[in-house]
A and B are shown apart, each in its own frame.
Chain A
Amino acid sequence: AQRVTQPEKLLSVFKGAPVELKCNYSYSGSPELFWYVQYSRQRLQLLLRHISRESIKGFTADLNKGETSFHLKKPFAQEEDSAMYYCALSGGSNYKLTFGKGTLLTVNP
């Protein structure tokens, strides 16, 4: 069975501070990991995926297979980063996503 754990339900930081949203997963094969974001009154959208190894809006995430983690990081948080962040996993080629419970990030001025 596949599982995604986001241990923090809420995370609050000040503008300019570093932020790290934690994600751990459980999967027996080689997973694909994603971070999705939902801004207020907007639909869920893809932020980044581990395969791309890219930085989106200053966010990066590295897949650590040894620790089965895919933490999302940004060195300097901005107020517009305030949103709900979901870590998700896809196993194999079925494209079905298993989501974590999400972390609500609030960036204070």
Chain B
Amino acid sequence: SAVISQKPSRDICQRGTSLTIQCQVDSQVTMMFWYRQQPGQSLTLIATANQGSEATYESGFVIDKFPISRPNLTFSTLTVSNMSPEDSSIYLCSVFYTDTQYFGPGTRLTVL
């Protein structure tokens, strides 16, 4: 299995600021994903982050708002930029490893 950790686990931020979420995996993985879960909603894929290439964003998500880094096979960051209260969500990192998708514990973000 792959064990994923995320930092921070939660944060409360002011609108207009940015927050960077870190995702660390204990195994080398090619495919990493970032999901968002808004209150009362399902998980929605933000982007796919493969090492050595630009992240691929889903419809409705743009790089300027959610820049992603993937410097190596065990680490990725997601930045939520110029935050507004609508960005209040749980953000989850996920990896595909040995034919299974594993999820991190999530980062609970509240924007005031």
Interface residues of A, Cβ cutoff 8 Å to B: 34, 36, 43-46, 86, 94-102
Contact = CB atoms under 8 A, between A and B. Distances in A.
Contact of A95 (B58, B101, B106): B101
Contacts of A98: 45
B67 interface: no
Interface in B86-112: 92, 94, 96, 100-106
Nearest to B96: A95
A34 B100 CA distance: 10
Contact of A97 (B41, B101, B105): B101
Nearest to A94: B48
A46 B101 contact: yes
B31 A43 contact: no
Contacts, number: 38
Given A46-B100, A97-B43, A97-B101, 19 more contacts: A34-B101, A36-B103, A43-B104, A43-B105, A44-B92, A44-B103, A45-B103, A95-B96, A95-B101, A96-B33, A96-B45, A96-B48, A96-B58, A97-B45, A97-B94, A99-B42, A99-B44, A101-B41, A102-B42
Contacts of B105: 43
Contacts of A36: 103
Residue in A36, A96, A98, A99 with the greatest tally of chain B CB atoms within 10 Å: A96
Interface string B39-64: 00111110010000000001000000
A100 to B, nearest CB: 6
